[in-house]
Amino acid sequence: MAGQVPASAGRVHDPRADHPTGDRGSLVLIGGALRNDAEIVKRIVDLADPDGDGPARARIALVTAGAEPAGSVEEAADADLNNAAANGLFYSALFEGYGAETYAVPVDTTQDAFPGDAYGPDNANSPAVAREVRRSTGVFFGGGDQTDYVRTLLRCRPAADEAYRSCRSTLVLSAVESVLRADGVVAGVSAGTTIQQGADMVTGGESYEAWRDGAAPGYFDDATKLGYLPYGGFGFFHQGLLDSHFGTWGRQARMMRLAQQTGHRQVVGIDETTALVVDRATGTGEAIGRNGVSLLDVRDRGASWTYLTRGDRVDLERGTVTRAGDAVDVVRAGEGPAERADIWDSVAADDPGVYSLVDQAVALVGSGAASATGTTLESDPQFVTTLAVTPTTGVWRTSAGVSFSRLDLAIAPR
């Protein structure tokens, strides 16, 4: 693979990567496209209820700094638009619809964007805002760009390459940490999920360019270039690299590449309309929602792939899986799938985001075949992904779909 560097190159020890004793609280890591997904929203509200006395006890602070600032008072007040203030209104209505109280945290990337604008990065160090967050029993991070969460809620040493190698918490981020220490819940969707990992957080990139060219520290205007921040995000999740929209947008190869280059063994990727609920005290996770959660045990040129659906649980430290209570074995039979084109759902295609690699894997494990392949849309060079059933591969069905464990995934040039 062109451009590969040793795993130790440029690495600085990050104490947040050491699994601490006494972790408390829960995480709800959502892969994207959260709307009125009752199962996921209700789980967040329930986890934010400190005494189990009903959702009215839940108070959720909403952080939407990953979205662009509003451009006017009118834009800030329109919950149908996508900006930090408008997203605060949208998520307030969503969580209040399930009985929770909410507080919109007035932080975004631009101070005083328009007359009367109450949002801005300075509020991240406001004692009054931090106090409101600390009063909450849960915190929710909206989508957008995870690097904007770094720019607003961390104070980092300036770096010409925007690699953010040394950072410290703002008052608001420290308040979020206090919610976890009080056994509260921190949830996020899309960028709000990705920001919760520690070192080497991905900042962008597409699978084809990532596998061909490798990763570089920093944040890049070229959206296809694989970038990462050595310092990482908030460090609430310790058990590997995190990514969202995972199977949806064919991000398996980009995260395998990043893990190989930065020396991480495990990747956890979450599909849209799906969440991984993490108990930080036990280091275990449960898949909920409509699609799946991927765990990649990464090796030199491939990975062992486990895909969990609703009700499946995993010990994130040991990698052991407990099937959902309603799981039934899948009887493998029939011919395997034909080779699939555009296996990584290239953004250059007419129909990106169609779960191509997940669908190929599900077709394989449901058949009697030993392997299946798929090719990249791009051909200079073209890469082939090979999926292979091993003696330890498991296949079962839950209420949300087909799950599997220990399916080999290898990538090679054609």
pTM: 0.94
Q: What is the DSSP letter of 158?
A: -
Instruction: Please name the residue ranges forming H helices in 103-144.
Output: 127-134
**Spatial distance between the Cα atoms of 339 and 373, rounded to a whole number of angstroms:** 5
- Report the pLDDT averaged over residues 17-39: 84
Write the pLDDT tens digit of every residue in 260-296. Answer: 999 999 999 999 999 999 999 999 999 999 999 999 9
Domain ranges of the chain: 24-322, 328-400
pLDDT tens-place string over residues 306-331: 999 999 999 999 999 999 999 999 99
Please state, in angstroms and rounded to a whole number, the distance separating the CA atoms of residues 303 and 266. Answer: 9
pLDDT, tens only, 58-100: 999 999 999 999 999 999 999 999 999 999 999 999 999 999 9
* Apex 153 CA angle, 245 and 260, nearest 5: 45
Phi first, then psi, for residue 193 (nearest 5°) are -85, -50
Q: Which amino acid is at 77?
A: A
Nearest alpha-carbon partner for 403 in 357, 370, 361? 361
Domain 24-322 has CATH 3.40.50.880: yes
Stretch 171-196: mean pLDDT, rounded?
Answer: 98
Per-residue pLDDT tens digits for 138-171: 999 999 999 999 999 999 986 667 788 889 999 9
Q: Are 354 and 272 in contact (CB under 8 A)?
A: no
Q: How confident is the model at residue 4 (pLDDT cuts 50, 70, 90)?
A: very low
pLDDT at 51: 79
